[in-house]
Amino acid sequence: MTASGRPAFERAGLWLLHRLEPERAHSLSLWALRLGLAPLPAPVTSPRLAQRLAGLDLPNPVGLAAGYDKNAVAIAPLLRAGFGFVELGAVTPRAQPGNPRPRLFRLPADRAVINRFGFNNEGAARISARLRARPARGIVGLNLGANKDSHDRAADYVSVLTQLGPLVDFVTVNVSSPNTRALRDLQQGAALSDLLSRVLSARERLASPLPVFLKIAPDLDLPALDAIATISRAQRLDALIATNTTVARPTLSGRFATESGGLSGAPLFAPSTRILALLAQRLEGQVPLIGVGGISSPEDAYAKIRAGAAAVQIYTGLVYRGLSLVAEINRGLERLLAADGFSHVSEAVGLDRDRVAGQG
């Protein structure tokens, strides 16, 4: 271990990866995981952290957000890395290359990333084979996407669910990526209601129906949040994920600050946490929430939980902190919960909801 408390091998690996073009580094990190070359932190579990969410028994509330392992190539090592659950994808019915490169940009001074991938993935058929070989243990979810040139995007979500739903533990309807033209229009009123009705009907036709989550953007106004909350309750969604990346641009540093695409990382923390709290107010516990956006410490994760999240997901934080961040957050949550006198993480959910919702 180094003086910073992070493994020396991990620090060296991150230094090397950050010398490479970001998308190449992304691919190399997955390759290292598959070959067992990346150090994996020991899982952290305890009765205080074990959480039941949408019928799923999570060993801890810290999950991997979609976008890292788009093609399900490193499921087993990711499950061994200590995540309470892992979300793969997004996956579309047909393979597609995504947007032209370069499309991934680091902003180290801001601890942020901008991406405009555009749902690049190898398609449902190829990913199906990998999911069939996944470990039996561990909670694995799949982020559903639509092909860029699709004339019926709702049918695309249904197609991926029908093909791959039996191979995973939950699915997420992703209507919030900013990198596929007009995709975010599906978050609006009648379009969202129709989409979810079709997806949920397809879910009921599976031999073993599974939880369906919805992932939303951080750039929604209050009427849009009201509509999403109303539809989520009416459709009896199993959970909402708040939030995806933002198209907003706070003050950023570095030569890539003006690149187009979705911004993630530290600058997203405050706006995404406020959206989370606003949704928690509107849902009043009827639909559980998963908090995503800018988490890079135990304190960040705890703030999401106190704002209303039953569980959290991380991704950009791993770019700058490595996989040891997973164990660090779980150990820190254990410490923070104990310091506040809580015997279980569920006791802290939503305690700061109204305060956080009132900010901004």
* DSSP-assigned letters across all residues of 191-241: HHHHHHHHHHHHHHTSSS---EEEEE-S---HHHHHHHHHHHHHHT-SEEE
Question: Cis bond leading into 66, ω under 30°?
Answer: no
Strands 262-265, 112-115: pairing is antiparallel
Helices 124-132 and 153-164 pack at an angle, to 10 degrees, of 20
Q: How far is CA 302 from CA 274, 297, 313, 329, 336, in A?
A: 14, 9, 12, 9, 8
d(CA 339, CA 174): 36
Name the residue with tokens 């991704």: 315
Cα of 51 vs its chain's centroid, Å: 17
d(CA 6, CA 138): 26
d(CA 228, CA 192): 8
**Active-site hit among 29, 150, 177, 272:** 177
Residue 296 annotated as catalytic: no
d(CA 195, CA 198): 5
Q: How far is CA 146 from CA 6, 22, 185, 200, in A?
A: 39, 25, 13, 16
Residues that are catalytic: 177
